[in-house]
Amino acid sequence: MKTRATTILTVRRNGLVAMGGDGQVTIGDAVMKADAVKIRRLAGEKVLVGFAGAAADAFALLERFEAKLKDFPGNLLRAATELAKEWRTDRVLRRLEAMMAAADARYTLLLTGTGDVIQPSDGVLGIGSGGNYAVAAARALLAHTQMTAPQIVRTALEIAAGIDIYTNTHLVVEELACET
């Protein structure tokens, strides 16, 4: 049975980075849980991490990522790169079906099992089944409103939930101060 779930969105604006995610977990054609929390604060509350994909796989990755953040304190980019290398080369990790978004005061990063560590040029990153819908909505809101980063994340996720059947409106949005 294929597990599908989630939309995670990260936006940077005016000294804030916000990351949000919905709460829906779907297995096959059934909603199994509506209020899952897919956003975590790591590294002494200085790093936001969101995950999409198989829940057990995502938790395994979160544990590894937390260890990398301890190995490279204050260096999100290096920790992400080291996790991506391990994820790509380790036989067990390579089979994990998940993606991660990570953000701190300086970086917003996408991490994948193929070894990708990608930083979006505009500070907007979406993953999961509704990620592209949320990114499109966030970019429009950035261009045409004065909303804050958390407001944009919440509104864009609500728009994505109206389009993507694997995304709901039980939202968690976290924010951090960031470098401008």
- The 10 Å CB-count burial string (b at 16+, else e) for 48-72 is bbbbbbbbebbeebbebbbebbeeb
Catalytic residue, candidates 3, 6, 7, 108: 6
Contacts of 162 (CB under 8 A, 6+ apart): none
Pairing type for strands 25-27 and 47-53 reads unpaired
Q: In what order do the strands lie in the sheet with 39-42?
A: 39-42, 47-53, 98-103, 108-111, 117-118
Q: 100 with 66: CB under 8 angstroms? A: no
Residue with tokens 């937390």: 66
Output phi, psi for 120, to 5 deg: -65, 140
6 is catalytic: yes
Q: 8 with 52: CB under 8 angstroms? A: yes
Residues tagged active-site: 6
